[in-house]
Amino acid sequence: MANKGLVPPGLAYLADNINTKHNLLGAGKGAGSKWAKDMQLPRDAETVFFAGCGYQYSSDLESLMSLMRRMDKGGVSDMAMGVAGFQKKLGIDAAGIYRKMMGGRGGEDGGEVLRDAVKVLRKLGLSFGYLGDEEPCCGGILHYMGLEEDFTRHAREVRSQLKSHKVSMIVGIVPSCTYTMRNLVAKVAPDAGLEVKHFSQIVAEKVPSLSLKFPTSAKMTYHDPCQLVRFMGIVEEPRTILRAIQGIEFVEPEWATREWATCCGGGGGFEAVFPEMSEILASNRARELADTGADIIVTQCPGCIMQIKTGLKNIKADKVEVLDLAQVVARAMGV
């Protein structure tokens, strides 16, 4: 009865990348780990920092999304022929566009977030490594697409890869990867010896012993990523951290915050199926956040950052900055 043809084209393309190239973008091996080149992170460690596709390929994802949106708005037979087919037909080589960017600076913003997160964790005295180009894609999107068999197979590979590196703890930064590793992989490929925590949980634990000051005075609001707030219940941690930093005036949206936070419009692969609608939802969310009067919107998800930035541009509020919490903490620590 099951019919794979029912997976919408944009998503089928991403799934194929994970299944064949082991990352969301179908990029070549090693491309994602460039951000860590000068970070001197050991490959073998009991605790590893899990960087995730979202930040490692952030600028590439941005190019891909922008391409998909252009296609979508252009009404190109609703991507029925798939992204790859579309590229071929119009002579646009999306893969080429993002590989070229990767050859250059590649994932600059995302790389900065990751380096900041590493610096913050180091400053907190955590000893950890990074699997580099052997870090597997969590494969979460396969699960969300409904391709549970592919996901299960992928999750088993992920688990044995972590086992072969003797990893006992993962510190995640991307909400979706962290939830996938903590809950979804654990469900289909259980490993009692593996603990998964999110970056903000570790930082929040240490906050009372820190003295933090943001270099300038700034009004900030916080956007809760769906998977952190509603899937993992991480509500207080980011707020504890932001409130502990001197120089920050912390404001919340009137209604749509904490467990009521509105999705940025980039959830569950939606952005690849309905690129244009996803942009409308991004603008709606950006408006709710900008209405707080904040200069900086803090969040913790590469997808949300991309969406909110797009939304801010659409509502002509690009002066508002969007940062990952790791960047804010790094600046407040002066690292």
H or E element in which residue 277 lies: helix 275-290
- The site for other proteins, by CB under 8 A, has a size of 40
**Count of residues in the chain:** 335
Q: How far is the CB of 78 from other proteins (least distance, A)?
A: 5
Q: How far is the CB of 148 from other proteins (least distance, A)?
A: 5
Which tokens in the block code for residue 334?
Answer: 């002066």
Q: Write down the number of H helices and E strands in the chain.
A: 17, 7
Which tokens in the block code for residue 70?
Answer: 């252009």
Contacting range for other proteins; rule: CB under 8 A; set: 43-51, 94-102, 114-122, 143-151: 143-151
Q: How far is the CB of 200 from other proteins (least distance, A)?
A: 19
Residue 11 vs residues 5, 39, 73, 81, 182: alpha-carbon distances, Å: 11, 34, 18, 12, 23
Q: Check binding of 187 to other proteins (CB under 8 A).
A: no
CA distance 161 to 185: 12
DSSP assignments along 128-186, one per residue: -B--GGGPPP--HHHHHHT-HHHHHHHHHHHHHHHHHTT--EEEE-SHHHHHIIIIIIH
Is residue 306 helix, strand or coil?
A: helix
Beta bridge mates, 198: 172
Contact pattern for other proteins over residues 233 through 252, marking x by CB under 8 A: --------------------
Half-sphere exposure at residue 195, Cβ-oriented, CA atoms within 13 angstroms: 9
Q: Regarding beta strands 245-251 and 296-299, do their DSSP bridges make them parallel or antiparallel, or are they unpaired? A: unpaired
Q: How far is the CB of 295 from other proteins (least distance, A)?
A: 25
Q: Check binding of 205 to other proteins (CB under 8 A).
A: no
Single residue of 189, 194, 263, 332 touching other proteins by CB under 8 A: 263
Q: Check binding of 213 to other proteins (CB under 8 A).
A: no
Contact pattern for other proteins over residues 11 through 50, marking x by CB under 8 A: x---------------------------------------
Closest to other proteins by CB, 61 vs 202, is 61
Contacting range for other proteins; rule: CB under 8 A; set: 126-134, 142-150, 190-198, 315-323: 142-150
Residue 291 vs residues 15, 249, 255, 256: alpha-carbon distances, Å: 37, 15, 11, 11
Contact 234, 228 (CB under 8 A): yes
Instruction: Kindly provide the residue ranges of all beta strands, DSSP E only, lying in the chain, ordered along the sequence.
Output: 47-50, 169-172, 195-198, 212-222, 245-251, 296-299, 321-324
Single residue of 161, 240, 284, 314 touching other proteins by CB under 8 A: 284
Q: How far is the CB of 146 from other proteins (least distance, A)?
A: 3
Closest to other proteins by CB, 220 vs 263, is 263
Q: How far is the CB of 260 from other proteins (least distance, A)?
A: 7
Q: Check binding of 259 to other proteins (CB under 8 A).
A: yes
Q: Check binding of 132 to other proteins (CB under 8 A).
A: no
Residue 59 vs residues 30, 107, 141, 224, 332: alpha-carbon distances, Å: 16, 5, 19, 22, 25
Q: How far is the CB of 317 from other proteins (least distance, A)?
A: 19
Single residue of 93, 108, 149, 318 touching other proteins by CB under 8 A: 149
Single residue of 67, 71, 145, 196 touching other proteins by CB under 8 A: 145
Contact residues for other proteins, defined by CB under 8 A? 1-4, 6-8, 11, 77-78, 80, 143-149, 226, 230-231, 255, 259-263, 265, 267-270, 273-274, 276-277, 280-281, 284-285
